[in-house]
Chain A
Amino acid sequence: MTKKFRIRSFGVVACSLLLGLAAIGCGIIGGSTTVKIGLLSPQTGPIAVYAPGFEDAASVAIAQLNEANDDYEFELIVANSGCDATQAATSAQSLVDSGVAGIVGAACSGATMSAISVAQAAGIPMVSYASTSPAITTLADDGYLFRVVPSDAQQSVALSDVVKANGSTNTGVLYMTNDYGAGLAENFKGAHGGLCTEVGYDPAEGSYDASTLAQAIVDGGCDSVVLVSYATDGAAIMEALLSQGFSGDLYGADGVADAAFVNSFTDTKAVDGLIATKPRPGKDSAAKSTFETAYSAAGGDTEGIYTHETYDAVNIIAAAAMADDSDDLRDDLNSVGKGYDGASGSHTFDSNGDVSGTGYDVCHFHGTDFECDKIWTSDGGVTSG
C-alpha cells in the first residue's frame, strides 16, 4: 500500500510541477498589450495599518486605466515590503520575476533603499509613494528611483512659518522616532530655532504612555506643541493633553491633516483647534476629484495617508509605459514627470528623481469641522488662499 501511495504522491507532485510550468508559459494574452505594474505594500510590520489604503488606491488607478485604454491591459501585482529591507528586496525580486514593467513603492525608506538595488539591477524603475527620508535623494540609484512625495525638509519650514504666524513663542515638539517623524522634527528644529522641549516616542502601541508625553509638555511650560505623529497615536496624545489641562495651541503635520482624523478619537472634543499642514494638490485638481470620487465609490476612506500619492505613482508609471518613446522606461518617466498634474499635486522630477511639491495647505479643526483656508508656498509664506 505504501509503495502504491508513494508512486501516486509522486505523480501528484510531478503533475502540479508540470501545471506550474505550463502556467508560466501562458503569460501572453492575445489582443491588447499586458502591462504589469508592481506595488510594494507594507502588509506586515509597523505600518501595516496603512497597507489596505495603498492597495485600494492603486487598484482604483488600475481600474480607471483599463477603462480608459482599450489597447492596454494593466495588471496590478502586489507584494509585501514588510517595512523591512530584507523582505522588501525579496519581494522586489518576486515582482521582477513576474515580469513587471515598473514598481510602485516602497513605503518605508529602508525598504525602498534595498528594493531599488534589485529593481535597478533588473533595469526596472521604481516610484515611491511614501518614502520621505532625505537619504533617498542622494542614493546611487542610477536614475531608477523616483518619488512623488517631497522630502521632509520643506514641510518643516512650512510648519515653522505657521507656528510663528499664529503667534506661538515657546513651542514643544512631540515626534515619532521613525525616519518620517525624526526627520521632520529635526528639520523643524533647524528651521524654527529654540524649542521649549523635544520628546521622541516609539509609535508602536504599548511602547509609549500618552499621559507621560502630555505631562512633559505641560511641566515644561510650553505654550504650544507640534505633533509629528500618525493618526492613532496623535489622537491618544491630544486626548491626554486635554485631560492634563493643556490649553495651548496644537499643530500637526500631514500624518493628521485630514478630516477623517476625527475618527481616531473617542472624545472628539480633543481635536478642536488643531492646525495642520499637508501637501497641496496641483492647480488642476481634476485628478484629485476623479480619484476621490472613484476611491470613495469603491468604499475606501479618503482619510488614509499617501493614498493620493500611490494613485499618482501608478498613473505615472502607466503613462510612461504607454508613451514608450525610448527603450528605457526610466527616460519615459522623466519625460512624463514634467509638470504632471496628479491627485497629490503637480509633480516634476528633478535630476535626483525628487519632486519639490507645490506648497502646503494650512488646515484647521473648528470643533470637528475640518477646513483648509490658508496655504503656504516657499516664496510667499503663509497666505490666505
Chain B
Amino acid sequence: MAEEILFHVKDCALVSISTGVKAYILTELLDHLKQVEIGCLYYHFWARQLRPSFDHPEFHNDFAAWVHRELHDWVLAERLNLIAPHEFHNLEELREELINVLEERFDESGDLPWRKAEKPFYFVKSQIVVIDTGRRLNHPRQLLEVVPSLSQGSIFYHFIDARRRTPERIDDFRAWLSAFSPEYDDLSARLAAIDPYFLTLTEIRNQLAVVFEDYFGENHE
C-alpha cells in the first residue's frame, strides 16, 4: 500500500526583480517594509541560496546581513538573524515579526533609526519557476540513487522551499517519509538534523546523500 505513494521530483529556478525601493536608514527600511510587495520577504528570507550571491554562513537573511554590515548594530543584527521564516504561517506574519523586532530596537536605542548606511538596502522580489521533471519515486530507497544527481534548484525546492509549503513546515523528504511511518522515522530524524541555514545547496545535497547512504547501508529496507 505504502509503495504507491509517489514522490514527485521537481526543479525550480528563480528570477530576481528589482522593485526600485531602497533604504539608507532604519526608519526608511521600516516604512518600506510595511508597504513592499510580500514577495520581497520571500526573496530576502528564503531565496538567498538560489541566487548569485555569496552564501554568508553567519547571516540567514538579508536584513540581518545589511544591519550588521552597514549599520554595525550587533544587537539588532543578531535578533533579525534569529527569525526563522518557516515558523510563521505566512509571509504577512513574518512581515509583522520583522516590524516588531525593528520597533523594539528603536525604543532601546537613540540614534540608530537615523544612522545612515553607506550602501542602501535594495528591496528585490522574485518569481520562482517550478518545473515538474516527470520523475517519480515510489520507494524511499530510491532517494539513495536520485539525491546525488539532483540540481541545486531541486534541493532548494524540496529541502528549503518545502518548509513554507508543507502543513508541518518540514522538507518534502520527511513529509513523504511520514506516509510510511513508523518504518522510516529514524531516517526522518537524521534528515531533521541537517540545518539548511548553515549550508550551501551543494553542501545540503552532499549531507543528504551521506544520510541516505548511511541509512540504507545499514541494511534498512
Task: Tell me whether A and B are bound partners.
Answer: no
